[in-house]
Amino acid sequence: MIKNINFMIVPKKLHSLLLKNVNIVIIDVRTPEEYLKGHIDGAINIPEIFTYLPNGLTTLEEKKDFVDFFENVFSNVGISKDEIVVFYEDKFTLKSPRGLTILKYLGYDENKIKVLDGGYYSWCKNNFKTSTVVFENEQKQFIACPLEQFFVDYDEMLKLLDDNSVVKLDVRDKDEWIGISSSPYGIDFAPKKGRLPNTTWIEWYDFITDNMLSVKSLKNIQYELDKKNIKITDKIVLYCFKGARLSNSYIALRKLGYENIRIYFAGWNEWCRKKDAPSINEVQNDDNPLLQENIALKKKLDELYLEKVNLIDFPKYNKEPVFAFDRDGNLCSSNEPKKEKLPFIVKYNQLFKDDTIKDIYNIIDNNMEKNTIVIEDNRYYSLRLIGSKDANKILVYGYDITQIKKNEQQLREQSKLAALGEMIGNIAHQWRQPLSVISTAATGMKIQKEFNLLKDDDFNSACDMIDEYAQYLSKTIDDFRDFIKGDTKNVRFNLKEEIESFLKLVESDIKTYHIEVINSCEDNIIINGHPNELKQCFINIFNNAKDAFLQNSHLEERYFFITLKKDKNQVTISFCDNAGGIPKDVLPKIFEPYFTTKHKFQGTGLGLHMTYSLIVEGMNGNILVNNKSFTYKEQKYSGAEFTITLPINQL
């Protein structure tokens, strides 16, 4: 007879048992920080349920260390043998199920081990009691009686690879299965990438609901198993990286009635550290474009995940959308715990008002992507929309970037102040000669008048010169005032005129440092955007070239090339110098905040970062930098080239 067992306990059932004073130990497996913000009343925090990472569970010493560690942990929280033990986390994903398989391996009665269905989220949804008080139970003696046949070690797994009567089921993420990433901790966390030979793959996500709150329906679980021809009578060994995702899958399989299941708990984390362990890697070649594409994406997402954002849900490996739109542009599925942290969005056209149904079809059918920023109650949210032809939906990922925006505003102000400092220097340079001319003309007329030598022609000529230079000074005041004032909204402007205005702002530097500007700009290119911020970008790029010229003082000629041209629906602006280029180790970091090759008293590293931000986020454009070799006036040169592309129809 098939034994179905449901390891999940719903919040109402747990609450009822607590009211009856049933002997229960509730274990919160989240981080201490999450626990302190709020937890189930009476719960004890044991983050090690998830974080404890053995490199192997094969030798007697490794097994003893594992058993001793958790024997001590469970004794300290008041578990002996009679308690019902309930593990929980924010939802039902993989931290809490790991507690179940650990406790079962240590010999605990599986009928007394539960995982909270829906996690802390569902508990709070039911308005059950929570607390911020740190709880401790009276210690008891937990004596482990390891169920050795439940865990498979490395030596046995090696033998099982050739045993076709046993299904070796890999439930890791796809990028780990094909060999792009070594672990969920990062691409290169572990020493080797790939999978065990002769194994079958079902991603652990296929066993849980889209909102990550519970196990999928039995029908859906069976469907995934049927696709891989895995029968209920089969012998199965589950493995992942460190025993978490396989624990999740174990709960799903047992609920369906699959009984003959063992687990390779140490998993890939142990396997990849064995020198002679056989493995398969589908993307072994470093030139594989799939590998390179995913490495680039993962590094970007890792950076977001670890450093820059308060995640609502932008999974490191692009797995779990917050919600999705169907082909009619309506909300069709959502991860409620995550979605509640976003603005209220139910239709695609709330984000893109001018898009039609045809545009939605195009995004889905061609797997296209779109990005947008939503502002609500002075908070900023970045949304990434990914069309999925397979899912027939637009998947939406989102995260709170309010802190990023605040940081960027601070950076922008610092960058503006740095630019203003340079502008004041430019004003002094640009005004020095006109003021000298005006002073000389006025003094000359006064002397000539005193000696009755002032002729009408000389007087008129001097007055005209004074007026000319006064007009020049007035124009420079207007130029600097407009630059300092900044842009509050998008306006239509002529790009060539703004480039000429920018050159006026840096005219004194051009003359002082003997830089020859070669300006090749097409006329009558009109776009919408922020002209003064764009001029600041031009100034930052020019300053980068100026600094490079100063560092290469041996150059006899200093050229600064500007090219402006229109191509279909976009315009390209390029700036190129002949200062030798940017060192290869510096080039990838050139747009990073606070990165500078200058002495700390000479530069802040903000200019080019803000240039990138203003172009990419402020005007929906793009900016690239490369080293370039070229010939000019029959001489060969090398230098850095910044290329800006902007949409002509930018609103």
**Lookup: tokens for 339:** 């979605």
Q: 286 vs 175, 191, 293, 615, CA distance in Å?
A: 15, 16, 11, 32
Alpha-carbon distance of 204 to 195, in angstroms, equals: 15
* Domain assignments of the chain as residue spans, ordered by start: 8-131, 154-274, 309-400, 406-647
CATH topology agreement for domains 8-131 and 309-400:
no
* pTM, 2 dp: 0.55
- The string of DSSP letters for 65-93 reads HHHHHHHHHHHHTT-SSSSEEEEE-SSSS
The span from the CA of 484 to the CA of 29, in Å, is 53
SS3 338: helix
Top-level class of domain 8-131: alpha beta
**237 phi and psi, to 5 degrees?**
-120, 120
Q: Which CATH superfamily is domain 406-647 in?
A: Histidine kinase-like ATPase, C-terminal domain (3.30.565.10)
Element (H, E) at 383: strand 379-388
Structure-block tokens of residue 133: 């008080």
Nearest-angstrom CA–CA distance, 285 and 451: 91
How many residues are given for the chain? 651
Architecture label for domain 154-274: 3-Layer(aba) Sandwich (3.40)
Alpha helices in 143-212 (DSSP H): 154-160, 174-178
CATH architecture of 309-400: 2-Layer Sandwich (3.30)
Going edge to edge, which strands form the sheet with 8-9? Answer: 8-9, 113-116, 84-88, 24-28, 44-45
Position 64 scores a pLDDT of 97
Residue 27's H or E segment, with its range, is: strand 24-28
- Per run of 10 residues, the mean pLDDT along the chain (length 651 residues) is 82 96 96 94 96 94 97 96 95 90 97 96 95 94 96 97 96 88 84 95 89 88 94 96 95 95 97 94 73 62 49 43 88 76 89 91 87 86 82 82 71 62 62 76 86 86 83 69 60 91 83 91 88 84 90 88 90 95 82 49 51 80 92 93 84 40
The residue among 326, 323, 325 whose CA lies nearest residue 334 is: 323
Cα gap 36→130, rounded to integer Å: 11
Q: Could you tell me which residues are beta bridge partners of residue 116? A: 9
CA-to-CA distance for 86 and 73, rounded, in angstroms? 15
- Give the separation between CA 19 and CA 11, rounded to whole angstroms: 12
